[in-house]
A = this chain, B = another copy of it.
Amino acid sequence: MRQLSLLVLGAALAFALGLAPAAADEGMWTFDHFPSQAVATEYGIPIDQAWLDRVRLATIRLSNCTASYVSPDGLILTNHHCAEACLSEHSTPEKSLIEDGFLAARREDELRCGAQIADTLVAMEDVTAKVAAATLGLDERAANAKRKRTLTELESACEVASAKDHRTGALKCEHVSLYEGGQYFLYKYKRYDDVRLVFAPEEGIAAFGGDPDNFQFPRYCLDMTVLRAYENGKPAKTPNHLSIDFAGPKAGEPIFVSGHPGSTDRLLTVSELKSQRDLIIPNWLLRNSELRGRLIEFGESSPGAERISRDLLNGLENSIKVRRKQEDALLDDALLARKASEEAALRASVARDPKLRAAIGDPWADIDRSQIALRQLYLQYLFTENAGGFNSRLFRYARAIVRGAAERSKPDTERLPEFADAALPRITQSLGAPIPLYPELERLTLVFSLERMREWLGPDDPLVRLLLVKESPQELAARLIAASKLGDPKVRLALWNGGAAAVDASDDPMLALAKAVDPYARAVRKRYENEVEAPVDSASEKIAHARFATLGTSVYPDATFTLRLNYGTVQGWVENGTPVEPFTHLGTAFARATDAYPFRMPDSWTRAKDRLDLSTPVNFTSNNDIVGGNSGSPVVNARGNIVGLAFDGNIHSISGSYWFDAAQNRMIAVHPAFIREALTKVYGASALLAELGAAP
């Protein structure tokens, strides 16, 4: 609460509005602005540059999560749910690594995760001034185009330079917008694109309680997986890694979480929040609740169907719970009233400053207008450009190939940004990854999305008429899936490498669909960029300037799936008047187990029960300010050792998208003693234990 009110109002104004500072460890801080002084004052813990560098260089950004290096040989600790796609990739309808778990007997048995990467942030460069200079004096549409082009140029130049720099070696350079466009950075990563699976427990213990328990606490999950980074076919050398302190933290102990919170919207304007509340989230929930139902019923048809759809369903159910609680937060009129009064206070401070007012005008009015345009364009944009009408992996491959061929014939800076030179290696990796593709599942998602496109755009929409006059969604999907060859990674890579000529020569019907959709999709994208994105970006920059002018940069930016560090202490909370203790223990997990999924203990655990210490702590909570993307984050103590593995938040943490509820927002982490107990007594993973430095 303290920093939220500081952030937008300043302390004096906050008092005036009755928002008294509260003791809360809120904030998702960049490593270059971590409030070490506040931590020293509050907890007496010195966080110096060496500590920060060590933790930063051991923290990993996966494609979808956070992780950390935990041995000098590239060993990576993250969550089970972060590696579920990889487990699914190596499963078949007959045998599922999600269900059964996996332990590589030897290093040569470790299984490559086709689409995974491991990035470590080695440097950050502030390019705000360069971007500002490039867009100076341009109107919002021209500025939008020029900004993207400038950022692409900066990324490319950075990659070219690093490739020639033998001190760093080739780096991935990505631009980052902080404070909704108030600052632009280049973030430079050391990337490994060969990541392999070392160990995963069974889903039955990794996600004990399944979707019903997700975002709940007390909790009993061994939500861990061990991966390994490889370079040139050998385990990567990772001298920057963290040690695990298997004793774990004590109640009240200060702890730090390093990771990549995915996205928060704490700085959005009220009209942007209302677009989410009224349009974006309800539409998403309607469609995806239906998809959930289709996937569940599909899974009921056979054990094999259940296996191949499990990973998709788990991710979907997690997202549904997030979106549902986000909508609940936005439907809380008190929250919106607070946002409105904070916004009014900032607007008032602009009104009092003639120079600032002259410089930025009324960006809130610009955003209000953009949101009217958004409401008009949203469905078209969603179903065509965002491919909401074509929920199919084959279609996504087809679009990448079709658009890639068209875009790569242009100069780097004139392409759609996602096809800039810097982005191409990752596309090649994705197209070449040998991830199994199940036609029945493709059929399900594609029929679903075609039907919903027809529902929401209406049967008389031109694109709907183009596709669905002679064929029903079922017939169209069946024909495309039966005839397309894009399920084969070799075919995909050949088309990708062959460029426009190969695409033109192909008669693949899914490529034909992607070609047919493209003019509609590009047209609506152009309108969206001009009428929504450009005014929002331009106005948000101005609001950020107003905020900096009033409050400086002593505040933290919204989460952007870039590296952040926060602090807090191990603690529970009070739920409906009842205190919730911060630690759970193994004995209670067994007591709570039932005979049926998702509350059934795996056989390996039932068999091992007599050998286990049932007083072993299992999971714990803290008030660290995290959101989705932080999954897999190392929880470190004052000495910089790992004392937990973040994997979830409690149900109140979901409102963290919009504000930090100091009283109830809690992180949930796996306790390291649980990890040791499992690896020792259930899985007999002695080599892995040794590499993790666990005493025998």
A115 to chain B, nearest CB (A): 27
Chain B residues with Cβ below 8 Å from A444 are 297, 300
Chain B residues with Cβ below 8 Å from A274 are 333
Assess whether B290 is in contact with A596, with CB atoms less than 8 Å apart.
no
Assess whether B293 is in contact with A327, with CB atoms less than 8 Å apart.
no
The residue from B282, B289, B328 contacting A293, defined by CB atoms under 8 A apart: B289
A464 to chain B, nearest CB (A): 9
Chain B residues with Cβ below 8 Å from A474 are 300
How does the 8 Å CB contact mask read for A291-311 relative to B, with 1 for contact and 0 for none?
Answer: 111111110110000000000
Residue among A274, A282, A451, A468 with most chain B CB within 10 A? A282
Assess whether A459 is in contact with B297, with CB atoms less than 8 Å apart.
no
A386 within 8 A of B: no
Q: How far is the CA of A596 from the CA of B469 in the complex (A)?
A: 7
Assess whether A469 is in contact with B595, with CB atoms less than 8 Å apart.
yes
Chain B residues with Cβ below 8 Å from A475 are 596
- CB-based nearest B residue for A214: B455
- CB-based nearest B residue for A274: B333
Residue among A290, A472, A592, A594 with most chain B CB within 10 A? A290
The residue from B298, B332, B471 contacting A297, defined by CB atoms under 8 A apart: B298
A300 to chain B, nearest CB (A): 7
A292 to chain B, nearest CB (A): 5
How does the 8 Å CB contact mask read for A318-345 relative to B, with 1 for contact and 0 for none?
Answer: 0010001001100111000000000000
Assess whether A595 is in contact with B458, with CB atoms less than 8 Å apart.
no
Residue among A209, A297, A459, A594 with most chain B CB within 10 A? A297
Assess whether B286 is in contact with A293, with CB atoms less than 8 Å apart.
no
A447 within 8 A of B: yes
- CB-based nearest B residue for A277: B331
Assess whether B594 is in contact with A469, with CB atoms less than 8 Å apart.
yes
Chain B residues with Cβ below 8 Å from A251 are none
Q: How far is the CA of A328 from the CA of B454 in the complex (A)?
A: 20
Q: How far is the CA of A392 from the CA of B234 in the complex (A)?
A: 58
Q: How far is the CA of A454 from the CA of B320 in the complex (A)?
A: 16
A285 to chain B, nearest CB (A): 6
- CB-based nearest B residue for A289: B289
A517 to chain B, nearest CB (A): 19
A450 to chain B, nearest CB (A): 11
How does the 8 Å CB contact mask read for A182-217 relative to B, with 1 for contact and 0 for none?
Answer: 000000000000000000000000000101110010
Assess whether A455 is in contact with B212, with CB atoms less than 8 Å apart.
yes
Chain B residues with Cβ below 8 Å from A328 are 278
Chain B residues with Cβ below 8 Å from A282 are 282, 285, 324, 327, 331
A470 within 8 A of B: yes
Q: How far is the CA of A594 from the CA of B473 in the complex (A)?
A: 12
Q: How far is the CA of A622 from the CA of B285 in the complex (A)?
A: 34
Assess whether B331 is in contact with A278, with CB atoms less than 8 Å apart.
yes
A317 to chain B, nearest CB (A): 9
A599 within 8 A of B: yes
How does the 8 Å CB contact mask read for A257-299 relative to B, with 1 for contact and 0 for none?
Answer: 0000000000000000010011000100111011111111110
- CB-based nearest B residue for A331: B278
Cβ contacts A to B, 20 pairs, < 8 Å:
A212-B455, A212-B459, A213-B459, A278-B328, A285-B286, A286-B289, A287-B289, A289-B293, A290-B290, A290-B296, A291-B293, A293-B294, A293-B297, A296-B451, A297-B297, A297-B298, A300-B474, A468-B596, A469-B594, A470-B595
A282-B327, A472-B597 known, 14 other contacts, Cβ within 8 Å: A211-B455, A212-B455, A282-B282, A285-B286, A289-B289, A289-B290, A293-B294, A293-B296, A297-B298, A297-B444, A300-B447, A468-B594, A470-B595, A471-B595
